[in-house]
């Protein structure tokens, strides 16, 4: 990408000049963890929460980050990369792989490879937040409950890629992953929420979904606003009687859903609008003046 700046192991490159070894285990095996962030007022949004999840993901894979990748040290690398991108607000991806090794799964490998990608932030059009987006149900194979291990945010995104392709083919914005036994999980790159009887509902982490940073913020905001919220399994049939739906992610924030397949929900409902407004205020609060 010509508008990106990439830092690889402490060295900055223009986006179209950045390279890693073909023997890097992140490339060979998807043996990596990552986080995606955006900035607000030029500062990484919810950075401590993202770093904590990066550490947890690495720990699950027994990927040793080392002292040079503690929160302060990695934040310094991030700030250096962000400063090289001229726009005020940026998209940011932090990737840590197990490093360069041989072609065997258990073979020796080098120190972790640390890649930081920054580029100008592109937000969704305003009309998407005003009118909502469409989702398309993507059924996971019966042999694959979640398509990834939700205990770690890793480089293995195969079902997300398939769900996105299916959604585009159906004329939808994003795929909604549903198990073979009709349990709603999450979007291809988002957390899913519905509102039913005035209650905000999202699947529990035990269902096999990622612990989204924005998901956690929304649940906290619901408590602060006095909005009832429930983390419980969602059956596919519940989409027929839901009053409102929305998805969340770090870069996009809270995005209303106007349709899932043939099910219309219309523009953002009152609960979704309250959550959107509260999240916007929470973003500003988190980075300070």
- Does 256 share its domain with 144? yes
203 exposed, middle or buried (CB, 10 Å; 0-12, 13-18, 19+)? buried
- Does 60 share its domain with 135? no
- Does 241 share its domain with 143? yes
Which CATH number belongs to the domain containing residue 107 in this structure?
A: 3.30.470.10
Which CATH number belongs to the domain containing residue 275 in this structure?
A: 3.20.10.10
- Indicate the pTM of the whole model: 0.93
> What is the percent of the chain where pLDDT is above 70?
97
- Does 147 share its domain with 28? no
3-state class percentages of the chain: helix first, strand second, coil last, to nearest 5: 35, 30, 35
- Does 95 share its domain with 179? no
Q: What is the pLDDT of residue 150?
A: 67
Give the pLDDT confidence of 244-281 residue by residue, as tens digits.
999 999 999 999 999 999 999 989 999 999 999 999 99
Give the pLDDT confidence of 79-104 residue by residue, as tens digits.
999 999 999 999 999 999 999 998 88
Element (H, E) at 73: helix 71-83
Nearest to 78 by CA among 100, 58, 96, 104: 96
- Does 211 share its domain with 254? yes
Q: Which is higher by pLDDT, 149 or 237?
A: 237
Q: What is the pLDDT of residue 105?
A: 86
In the beta sheet, which residues pair with residue 95? 34, 115
Using the 3D structure, point to which of 77, 100, 120 is the last residue of a domain.
Answer: 120
Q: Identify the domain containing residue 281 by its residue range.
A: 126-287
- Does 42 share its domain with 77? yes
- Does 151 share its domain with 114? no
- Does 142 share its domain with 244? yes
């Amino acid at each position: 990408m010509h508008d990106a700046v990439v830092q690889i192991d402490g060295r900055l490159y223009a986006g179209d000049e950045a390279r890693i070894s073909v023997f890097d285990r992140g490339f060979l095996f998807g043996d990596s963890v990552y986080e995606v962030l955006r900035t607000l007022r030029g500062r990484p949004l919810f950075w401590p929460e993202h770093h904590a999840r990066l550490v947890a993901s690495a720990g699950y894979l027994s990927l040793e980050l080392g002292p040079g990748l503690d929160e302060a040290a990695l934040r310094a690398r991030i700030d250096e990369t962000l400063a090289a991108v001229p726009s005020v607000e940026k998209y940011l991806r932090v990737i840590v792989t197990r490093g360069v090794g041989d072609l065997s799964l258990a073979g020796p490998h080098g120190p972790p490879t640390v890649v930081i990608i920054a580029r100008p932030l592109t937000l969704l059009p305003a009309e998407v937040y005003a009118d909502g987006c469409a989702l398309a149900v993507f059924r996971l194979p019966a042999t694959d409950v979640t398509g990834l291990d939700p205990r770690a945010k890793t480089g293995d995104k195969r079902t997300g890629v398939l769900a996105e392709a299916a959604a585009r083919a159906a004329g939808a914005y994003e795929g909604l992953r549903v198990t073979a036994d009709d349990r709603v999980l999450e979007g291809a790159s988002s957390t899913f929420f519905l509102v039913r009887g005035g209650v905000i509902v999202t699947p529990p982490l035990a269902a096999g979904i990622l612990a989204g940073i924005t998901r956690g913020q929304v649940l906290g905001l619901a408590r602060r606003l006095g909005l009832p919220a429930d983390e419980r399994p969602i059956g596919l049939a519940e989409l027929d009687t839901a009053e409102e739906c929305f998805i969340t992610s770090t870069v996009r924030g809270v995005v209303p859903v106007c349709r899932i397949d043939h099910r219309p929900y219309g523009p953002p409902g009152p609960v979704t609008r309250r959550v959107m407004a509260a999240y916007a205020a929470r973003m500003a609060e988190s980075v300070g003046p």
